[in-house]
Every structure is written in C-alpha cells, then in structure tokens.
A and B are shown apart, each in its own frame.
Chain A
Amino acid sequence: MAKIIIPTPLRKFTDNQSSFQATSGNVGEALNELTTAYPGVKGHLFDDNGQVRQFIKVFVGEDDVKDLDNNATLVESGTVISIVPAIAGGSC
C-alpha cells in the first residue's frame, strides 16, 4: 500500500484526513483512487484534460515523478506519494 500525503489546503475535501492509503500499483492509479474516494479533490488536482495541474507537483519520496516515470511510476508497500502545491509569488 502506498501512502498519499494530502496537502493541508486540500484536506477540507478529504474529511480532514492528512493521508490516504492507496492499493494501486502506480502513481496515476493511486491518484485516481484518491479522487474516487474523495471526488472534491479531483478539480484541484487534475485539469480538464485529466493531467496534474500546472502548479501541482507529485513526488515519490523526495523525487519528482517527472524525473521518474510520471504517472506510470511504480509504487509498492511503504511508498510515500506527496501532492505538493507550488508556492511562489512576488510584489509585481
């Protein structure tokens, strides 16, 4: 089972749960499992094309899945998947 860490701003869509246990074999399936369990997360995680939103990164351990095998990145028992919102801004 992989553990998905839910970022604080999305926890109002997960009944305030900070993590979710997924049984799927890869990252994409695990995220779909999460959005099936908590449909309110879907619009904040995926864009209209079903891709992870521009300002969201998905990490397996400390590795961005873009540097691995994206959604096809395999997960196994004990894998930690983090949904990480990009934090940036500035005065002008």
Chain B
Amino acid sequence: MTELILTEDARKVIIKDAESAYPHECCGFFYGSDDDKRTVTEAIPVVNTKEENRERRFEISAIDYMKAEQYADENGLTLLGVYHSHPEHAAIPSEHDLRQALPYFSYIVVSVKKAKTAAVLSWKLNDQGRFEQETVINQNNPFDVDVFLSSFNQ
C-alpha cells in the first residue's frame, strides 16, 4: 500500500471545504512533493461546476485544471491529485470516480455525514486501472501551538 503524507494545513482546508459544501460535493486540488514520500503540503478548493445533482456529482472546469498545473509550476510544487467529498456516502471511489480517474494522481475522498467529516481516505489507480487505497499519514505542523499544548493533556 502506498503512503500519502497529509499535512495538517492541507487536511484542514479539505475538511473545511467538505463540511461547508455539504450537502453538495466539494472538490479541489492538492499539491506538494513526490520525492521519497508523497507529501501533500497544500490544498486549494475549486468550484464544483456540475449544474445538477451536486449532492452526488462533481466536475472541475478545464480552466481550473489549467490554473492548477500553472500554480504548481510557478510555485515549485507537484500537482499530486484531486479531492472531493461524498455527502452521506462512504469515502470509497464510485464507478463514476473510476471512469475518469487518471494514473499517477492520488484521489482523496471525504465522507461527510450530517455535515461532519466521518472519514478521509486516499486512493490511487494501480497498473490494472483499479483503485487501491493509500495509507494516509497525518502530519502535524511542527510549530502548531494547539497540537503542542494538547500533547500535555494526554
């Protein structure tokens, strides 16, 4: 199982987007590095351009995709993948997700139940074109005061 390191900043952005978009699906891109370990350092929401059934469908415009590639290029980052939410559904990719999935990208799926995040899972296509789950490693920010203080209360 491949690993995806998800920094706290990126995770917060994704969860906030998923919960605020509820009951609709949210979507966005995430960026970082892909050297020894695939590490997501930044996530940026984009508009779900689907006009109908946004509670169970998402679509990202071609212009937003081009901007995402440009953003990665200009900031020395790698475009690592796409996230979206599944309101009232599991964080498991559907047939619709599989149909347009691309090799290389990681796909983070957020399950949102009653406007609260229930699970954050990541998936990646294998060589046979099927999704395999990645191990998501949550990485706290080194100088996050809240995390630092909470460590004394455990």
Residues of A within 8 A of B (CB): 5, 7-9, 11-12, 18, 55, 57, 59, 62, 64, 82, 84-92
Contact = CB atoms under 8 A, between A and B. Distances in A.
B94 A7 contact: no
Chain B interface residue count: which class? 35 or more
A9 B105 contact: yes
Most chain B beta-carbon contacts within 10 A, residue among A7, A85, A88, A90:
A90
Interface string B75-110: 000110010101111000110110111111100000
27 contacts: A5-B66, A8-B78, A9-B104, A12-B103, A18-B73, A55-B99, A62-B63, A62-B66, A64-B62, A85-B100, A85-B102, A86-B100, A87-B27, A87-B59, A87-B60, A88-B57, A88-B59, A88-B96, A89-B84, A89-B99, A90-B25, A90-B53, A90-B58, A90-B97, A91-B56, A91-B88, A92-B56
Nearest first, the 7 A-B pairs at minimum CB distance are A90-B57, A89-B97, A91-B89, A91-B86, A87-B60, A9-B102, A88-B59
Contacts of A89: 57-58, 84, 93-94, 96-97, 99-101
